[in-house]
Amino acid sequence: MEKENIIKTLKKEKIPIMGTCAGMILLAKETDHKQPLLGIIDMKVKRNAFGRQRESFEEKIRILGKEFNGIFIRAPAVTKTGPGVKILSKLNNKIIAVKQGKNIALAFHPELGNDTLIHEHFIKEVI
């Protein structure tokens, strides 16, 4: 099965998806760049909202009521959310994590650190 068909099946079957960084962009309904989008989360995303590759950084953020080390690499940010979208975290007034239904979108890379907080939360949402 082609990758595109797998994502369309997940969307059709309403199977929860977690998107990080470029995944956040793909989950959006709208972005500042013309590209195909999945439109799963009612949000508009700005690509490279924190700068280019050389401006990548790590920063302590608050998410799910706890401190978390966010790793931002050419990170996007959410510029607009629709009804039903819950903001999970902001950094410098930029939205960096959202949730709609059981779908989660993150501007940073939780998979690059050792803290499993966000992955554990996602698994609990799925079950």
Q: What is the pLDDT of residues 19-75, one digit of tens each?
A: 999 999 999 999 998 888 889 999 999 999 999 888 999 999 999 999 999 999 999
Q: What is the pLDDT of residues 73-88, one digit of tens each?
A: 999 999 999 999 999 9
**Catalytic one of 58, 59, 109, 125:** 109
Q: What is the pLDDT of residues 95-107, one digit of tens each?
A: 999 999 999 999 9
Identity of the amino acid at 105: A
| pLDDT recorded at residue 112 | 96
The structure tokens 């099965």 sit at 1
**Catalytic one of 21, 59, 67, 121:** 21
Q: Clarify whether 125 is annotated catalytic.
A: no
Distance CA 16, CA 18 (A): 7
Question: Are the CB atoms for 95 and 81 separated by under 8 Å?
Answer: yes
Strands 18-20 and 57-63, bridge-based pairing:
unpaired
Q: Clarify whether 33 is annotated catalytic.
A: no
Q: Clarify whether 111 is annotated catalytic.
A: yes
**Catalytic one of 30, 55, 111, 120:** 111
Phi and psi for 55 in degrees, rounded to 5? -95, 15
> CATH class for domain 18-126?
alpha beta
- Residues in CB range of 16: below 8 A, 6 or more apart: 101, 102, 103, 104, 122, 125, 126
> For 99-124, what is the mean pLDDT?
96
